[in-house]
Amino acid sequence: MSILSDKNTNKTEWWRGASIYQIYPRSFVDANNDGIGDLKGIISRLDYVADLGVDAIWISPFFTSPMKDFGYDVSDYRAVDPVFGSLKDFEKLTEKAHSLNLKVVIDQVYSHTSDQHEWFKNSRQSKDNRYSDWYVWKEAKEDGTPPTNWQSMFSGPAWTWDNRRKQYYLHNFLPSQPDLNFYNEEVQEALFDVAKFWVNLGVDGFRLDAINYGMYDLQLRNNPPREGVPEQIRRPVTMQKFTYSISQPGMPEFLKKYRKVLDQYGDIFTVAEVGGDEPVNVMKSYINGNDKLSSAYSFEFLAMSEPSPENLREVLGQWKDNQNDGWPSWAFSNHDVPRVLNRWAGNKPTDQQAKLYLLTLASLRGNVFLYQGEELGLEQTDVPFEQLQDPEAIANWPDNMGRDGARTPIPWHVDEPHFGFSSVMPWLPVDFHQHVKCVSEQLKNDDSVLNFAKMAFKLRQNALPLKLGTLDFEEGPSGLIVFVRQYEGKKLLCIFNTTDKNVDYSNVSNVKLLLQVGDVKADASFFPANSGGIWEVV
Residue 8 to residues 5, 155, 461, 462, Cα–Cα distance (Å): 9, 48, 10, 9
| Interatomic CA distance for residues 401 and 135, integer angstroms | 32
Residues paired with residue 330 on neighbouring β-strands, in sequence order: 368
Query: What are the start-end ranges of the H helices in 17-76?
Result: 39-44, 46-50
Ranges assigned E (strand) in 67-199: 76-80, 103-108, 137-138, 159-162, 167-170
> In which element (H, E) is residue 471 found?
strand 470-474
Q: Which of 73, 209, 379, 441 is catalytic?
A: 209
* pLDDT of amino acid 8: 46
Q: In this prediction, what percent of the chain has a pLDDT beyond 70? A: 97
Domain coordinates in residue numbering, the chain: 15-112+183-460, 469-537
In which band, very low, low, confident or very high, does the pLDDT at 538 lie, cut at 50, 70 and 90? Answer: very high
Whether 404 is catalytic: no
Angle subtended at Cα 251 by Cα 270 and Cα 253, rounded to the nearest 5 degrees: 85
Query: What are the start-end ranges of the H helices in 78-163?
Result: 87-99, 118-123
- The model carries a pTM of 0.96
Overall average pLDDT of the 16-35 stretch: 98
Summarize pLDDT for 278-329 with one digit per residue, the tens: 999 999 999 998 999 999 999 999 999 999 999 999 999 999 877 678 999 9
**Burial label, 420 (beta-carbon count in 10 A; 0-12, 13-18, 19+):** buried
Q: What's 475-505 look like in SS3? A: CCCCCEEEEEEEECCEEEEEEEECCCCCEEC
* pLDDT of amino acid 395: 79
* pLDDT of amino acid 499: 95
Fold (topology level) of 469-537: Immunoglobulin-like (2.60.40)
In which band, very low, low, confident or very high, does the pLDDT at 157 lie, cut at 50, 70 and 90? Answer: very high
Long-range pairs, 47-51, Cβ under 8 A, ≥24: 47/100, 48/439, 49/21, 49/23, 49/100, 49/102, 50/100, 50/101, 50/102, 51/454
Amino acid letter, 28:
F
Max distance between CA atoms of the chain, in angstroms, equals 74
In which band, very low, low, confident or very high, does the pLDDT at 13 lie, cut at 50, 70 and 90? Answer: very high
* pLDDT of amino acid 343: 94
Backbone angles phi, psi at 492, to 5 degrees: -125, 135
Whether 273 is catalytic: yes
* pLDDT of amino acid 401: 61
Amino acid letter, 66:
P
Q: Is the pLDDT of residue 275 over 80?
A: yes
Choose which CATH entry (3.20.20.80, 3.30.70.1710, 2.40.160.10, 3.40.50.150) describes domain 15-112+183-460. 3.20.20.80
Listing from the earlier edge strand, what are the strands of the sheet with 470-474? 470-474, 480-487, 490-497, 531-537, 511-517
* pLDDT of amino acid 394: 81
Overall average pLDDT of the 34-42 stretch: 98
Overall average pLDDT of the 415-430 stretch: 96
Amino acid letter, 8:
N
* pLDDT of amino acid 1: 40
Summarize pLDDT for 334-386 with one digit per residue, the tens: 999 999 999 999 889 999 999 999 999 999 999 999 999 999 999 999 898 88
Overall average pLDDT of the 197-206 stretch: 98
| Interatomic CA distance for residues 48 and 375, integer angstroms | 11
Overall average pLDDT of the 440-460 stretch: 98
Overall average pLDDT of the 227-235 stretch: 87
Side-chain-facing half-sphere of 325: CA atoms under 13 Å: 15
Dihedral sign for Cα 225, 231, 236, 238, please. negative
Side-chain-facing half-sphere of 416: CA atoms under 13 Å: 16
| Interatomic CA distance for residues 176 and 181, integer angstroms | 16
Q: Which of 30, 273, 351, 379 is catalytic?
A: 273
